[in-house]
């Protein structure tokens, strides 16, 4: 069975998720797991996909970066799948670990992908440092602070911190921080 997995990092990338889903459908994936989650956070749909696969199945992703955050993470996933007798196919690279060549290419290209990500992060840090030095960097807009009034209203209504965070799509810690700063 072909089992698909699609992921984007943010809700703003809905078109990217839709494109992945279309491609997985065209490839004949009978079951598809999808999520919009950062690569560094918990990825429950990926966990469910890994649990779902059985011997003889192939997990299909459109791109390597949709699956793994680093080469060690990639190999961790591949080892789990191999232990179950499950292959992996990365469409845009033409890689299928059901073949020895596919396994070799995945290792090489995984290293290149990790190197590329590290270089991108380094350039990003340099750009931020330059912008800070020029007084142009303002950082990320504080989303929870902008919702302080809503947080206070919900909290006054007896809503739990977890529920406030879920409703406003912000972190529970941010809700707590806003409530604490309002008491000061």
Catalytic residue set? 9
Distance of CA 102 to the CA centre of its chain: 24
Give the span between the Cα atoms of 82 and 70, in whole angstroms: 18
Order of all β-strands in the sheet with 58-61? 31-36, 2-8, 58-61, 87-90, 95-96
Task: Report the relative pairing of strands 31-36 and 58-61 from DSSP bridges.
Answer: unpaired
Give the span between the Cα atoms of 67 and 6, in whole angstroms: 8
Cβ contact 57:2 at 8 Å: yes
């Amino acid at each position: 069975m072909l089992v698909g997995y699609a992921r984007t990092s943010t809700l703003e990338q809905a078109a990217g998720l839709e494109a992945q889903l279309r491609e997985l459908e065209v490839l004949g994936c009978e079951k598809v797991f999808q999520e919009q989650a950062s690569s560094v956070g918990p990825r429950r749909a990926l966990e469910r996909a890994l649990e779902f696969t059985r011997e003889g199945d192939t997990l299909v992703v459109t791109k390597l970066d949709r699956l793994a955050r680093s080469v060690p993470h990639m190999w961790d996933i591949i080892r789990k799948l191999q232990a179950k007798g499950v292959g992996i196919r990365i469409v845009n690279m033409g890689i299928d670990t059901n073949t020895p060549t596919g396994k070799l290419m995945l290792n090489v290209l995984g290293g290149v992908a990790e190197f590329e990500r590290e270089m991108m992060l380094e350039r990003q840090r340099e750009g931020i440092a330059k912008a800070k030095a020029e007084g142009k960097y303002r950082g990320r807009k504080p989303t929870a602070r902008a919702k302080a009034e809503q947080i206070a209203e919900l909290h006054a209504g007896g809503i739990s911190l977890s529920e406030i965070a879920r409703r406003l799509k912000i972190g529970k810690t941010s809700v707590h921080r806003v409530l604490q700063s309002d008491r000061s």
